[in-house]
C-alpha cells in the first residue's frame, strides 16, 4: 500500500458522505493496491493509458515474432 492510505480512506469517507464515489488514475501493475482501492469504494480506476496498452501489445507481438525460428 502506498503512504497515502490515510488520505485515501479520508477521501473515500468524504465521497460516501456526499453520495459520490472516488476515483484514481494511473495505478498499474499492483493488483493488491487496486483490490484495496476497489474494496474502499473506488468506482473509477484506470490502470494505465491507451498509449501504454498499445505499446505493451506491440512489444508482445514483437517478442513472439522474434521467437520464430528462422534458418
For residue 1, what pLDDT is reported? 53
Report if residue 62 sits inside a domain: yes
Report if residue 11 sits inside a domain: yes
Report if residue 23 sits inside a domain: yes
Quickly list DSSP for the chain: --TTHHHHHHHHHHHHHTT---EE----S-HHHHHHHHHHT--EE--S-HHHHHHHHHHHHHHHHHTS---
pLDDT in tens, 26-67: 887 888 988 999 999 888 888 778 888 899 999 999 999 999
The values of phi and psi at residue 15, to 5°, are -60, -45
What is the total count of domains within the chain?
1
Q: What is the extent of the structural domain holding 17?
A: 5-66
Report if residue 71 sits inside a domain: no
For residue 71, what pLDDT is reported? 73
Report if residue 44 sits inside a domain: yes
pLDDT in tens, 57-68: 999 999 999 999
For residue 7, what pLDDT is reported? 87
Amino acid at each position: 500500500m502506498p503512504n497515502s492510505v490515510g488520505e485515501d480512506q479520508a477521501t473515500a469517507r468524504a465521497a460516501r458522505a456526499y453520495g459520490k464515489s472516488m476515483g484514481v488514475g494511473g495505478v498499474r501493475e499492483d493488483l493488491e493496491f487496486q483490490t484495496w482501492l476497489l474494496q474502499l469504494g473506488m468506482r473509477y480506476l484506470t490502470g494505465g493509458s491507451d498509449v501504454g496498452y498499445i505499446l505493451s501489445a506491440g512489444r508482445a507481438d514483437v517478442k513472439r515474432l522474434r521467437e520464430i525460428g528462422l534458418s
